[in-house]
Amino acid sequence: MNTSLTLRNHVNGAFVDAADGRTLDVVDPTDGQVYATSPLSGAADVDAAMAAAAEAFPRWRDATPGTRQRLLLRIADAIEARADELVDAECRDTGKPRRLTISEEIGPMADQVRFFAGAARLLEGRSAGEYAEGLTSIVRREPIGVCAQVAPWNYPMMTAVWKFAPALAAGNTVVLKPSDTTPASTVLLAEIIGGILRDMGLPAGVFNVICGDRETGRLMVEHPTPALAAITGSVRAGIQVAQAAAKDVKRVHLELGGKAPVVVFEDADLGEAARVIAAAAFFNAGQDCTAATRVLVHDSVHDVFVQALTKAAAGTRTGGTDEEGVHYGPLNNAAQLAQVAGYIERLPAHATLETGGHRVGEAGYFYAPTVVSGLEQHDEIIQNEVFGPVVTVQKFTDEDRAVEYANGVDFALASSVWTKDHARAMRMSRRLDFGCVWINTHAPLLAEMPHGGFKQSGYGKDLSAYGFEDYTRIKHVMTAL
């Protein structure tokens, strides 16, 4: 095996190998070849990272909000200053188009860090008061403690920001594990943040990164030190985290799967809807929990819309990181390619494959943009998250049936409604059982607005003041007058 890059853990301000020397191969998904190794961290590595975070916590907890803000503002500046390096690392691990990664991730990441920098100085709470005679009550918001955080492989560096920024802003310390298939950009973030902590004279253990597999993540969650475990991942992983955390009653923050319904009514601008839905479905190869991949369209315009969506899909290109005109890259790994292909191979007889449905090329994990129509509510591909560049289409006859179909899955993260009828849009936004409802658009996320779902999509919020508050605890202080 010939690899050119060796990644290492970053614990208490130093780069270190796994204590027992074990490593994992890191594969470039554009060609399927190993290009790096990363540590396969075990119990000793988790112990060391948790000890560093625990030691750093008292000083960081007691730092002023202004100090926390300065740290985060410097991190945001560094993300922009080292954007090329971060994008290089991210694209090597994920195969994403470089142009889109720069435009769609670096700016939002820096903006999100700056949002939480501001939030650090704006903790809100009820005013002190006398709620019983002779007694004054005060409510304090405090950091929770050490946070064990696990990021996914679909947006490695952006979800790392979603994890560490609110945690640090609130005064917590962090042990963060990237996915085993995409560790490079997170390790680079550790180098950047470690250098800033050192320059500011802050404890090195405020931010730690350890690499590893599912077992490493399990050891982190089960470790007695963290007060909160946060994960973005599959439903199965979320259930395992919740079960492990229950053993010592840790707080848990889960952002899991999605199966976003996209409800297109007969009065919608069908051409615009098809264009935006295709973009929101195929971006990042559909590897997005909010992807617009489950379309419900009124039967009176079904055929016209399917034709428009199929045309938009056929005009969508997959290809390598630096290829011109590419809209998305490969699936992340061989197992994900097999999963996506399996859903298409198992399509029921009543389904119609409108376009796509096949691998692209012999090297790497590329899959064609795919549209499938003629599906029914109970079909496997409707009920389960495919997590690939696959759009399904169903018919509905009226608003009640649209709501029934939309809500009739186990996921409840995001959704969208396409109509010119304002009253209908407001009714649908109330009736749809999803953490986000977009109207005549799909996919925009803002630092100021919460992101998170219901049901098997998890609980807790990323982004926004709500996400910030998830990393705090509330204490009542009462004093006699």
The DSSP code sequence of 98-155 is HHHHIIIIIHHHHHHHHHHHHHTT----PPPEEEETTEEEEEEEEE--EEEEE--SSS
Those residues whose C-beta lies under 8 Å from the C-beta of residue 139, and which sit 6 or more positions away, are 125, 126, 128, 474, 475, 476, 477
Are 184 and 308 found together in one domain?
Answer: no
Are 352 and 266 found together in one domain?
Answer: yes
Are 166 and 200 found together in one domain?
Answer: yes
**Residue 24, SS3 per DSSP:** strand
User: What's 216's DSSP letter?
Assistant: H
Residue 315 belongs to a domain? yes
Residue 90 belongs to a domain? yes
Residue 235 belongs to a domain? yes
The total of other beta-carbon atoms located within 10 Å of residue 335's CB is: 11
CATH number (domain holding residue 140): 3.40.605.10
Q: Which H helix or E strand runs over 212?
A: none
Domain that holds residue 346: 261-446
Domain tally, the chain: 2
Q: How does strand 352-355 pair with strand 370-373?
A: antiparallel
The pLDDT tens digits along the chain (481 residues) read 455 799 999 999 999 999 999 999 999 999 999 999 999 999 999 999 999 999 999 999 999 999 999 999 999 999 999 999 999 999 999 999 999 999 999 999 999 999 999 999 998 777 889 999 999 999 999 999 999 999 999 999 999 999 999 999 999 999 999 999 999 999 999 999 999 999 999 999 999 999 999 999 999 999 999 999 999 999 999 999 999 999 999 999 999 999 999 999 999 999 999 999 999 999 999 999 999 999 999 999 999 999 999 999 999 999 999 999 999 999 999 999 999 999 999 999 999 999 999 999 999 999 999 999 999 999 999 999 999 999 999 999 999 999 999 999 999 999 999 999 999 999 999 999 999 999 999 999 999 999 999 999 999 999 999 999 999 999 999 999 9
Distances (CA, A) of 461 to 237, 252, 253, 280, 306: 17, 11, 8, 21, 34
Residue 452 belongs to a domain? no
Are 270 and 237 found together in one domain?
Answer: no
Are 294 and 163 found together in one domain?
Answer: no
Residue 139 belongs to a domain? yes
Are 90 and 212 found together in one domain?
Answer: yes
By annotation, the residues acting in catalysis are 255, 289
Which amino acid type is present at position 292? A
Are 217 and 275 found together in one domain?
Answer: no
In terms of Cβ atoms closer than 10 Å to its own Cβ (0-12, 13-18, 19+), residue 129 is: exposed
Distances (CA, A) of 348 to 307, 351, 437: 21, 6, 30
